[in-house]
Amino acid sequence: MSDTYKIVFRGDIAPGHTLVEVKSRLAGMFRLDEESVAKLFSGRPVTIKRNLNGVDAKTWCDTLRKAGAVAQAVAESESAPSASVSSTEAPALDDGLRVEPVGADVLRPSERVENPPLQVETDHLSLDAVGADILRPHERRVVKAPVLDLSHLRVETP
């Protein structure tokens, strides 16, 4: 039995590329209209190509990477050759890590820590009325007005 792969794209963009550039390149590569390109960038996994051998799958991923799109080659299982990746199923990376869809919870319930509400003591705080001077007399800085000699200045009228 030979391994077959499918190319899965989730809308990820390679570093150094902009969304506009990548959308334009993919539209040109696949001859897609604007609406179809927008579906590729919906955040959900989209299977672009199926039934590829390992070499062809790598070629597809490399070609998409040159266009600025990050795609993954995912092994197709014999039991479900036509099944696409669902929004709850994420493709596995080479080192066994998984990349979850945008907005997915990445922590298992057992990994979550419930923080109790923080109790803050506020009895020592007070509010003054609107427009009140908030500085106490000992907090005020006294600034003496400078003495200016303006006797040498004159205003002449024409």
For the stretch 67-123, pLDDT in tens is: 999 998 888 874 343 444 443 444 555 556 667 777 777 777 888 888 889 999 999
pLDDT score at 124: 92
Q: How many CB atoms lie within 10 A of CB 111?
A: 8
Considering the entire predicted model, what is its pTM?
A: 0.47
User: Which amino acid is residue 29, in one-letter code?
Assistant: M
Which of 7-11, 54-58, 84-88, 95-99 shows the lowest per-residue confidence on average (mean pLDDT)? 84-88
Rounded distance between C-alpha atoms, residue 107 and residue 45, angstroms:
20
Residue 155 pLDDT > 60: yes
The first and second tokens of residue 65, run together, are 């990477």
Eight-class DSSP state of 61: H
- Share the mean pLDDT of the chain: 82
What are the φ/ψ torsions at residue 20 (nearest 5 degrees)? Answer: -65, -45
Eight-class DSSP state of 88: T
pLDDT tens digits, one per residue of 73-82: 888 874 343 4
Q: What's the fold here for domain 4-100?
A: Ribosomal Protein L30; Chain: A, (3.30.1390)
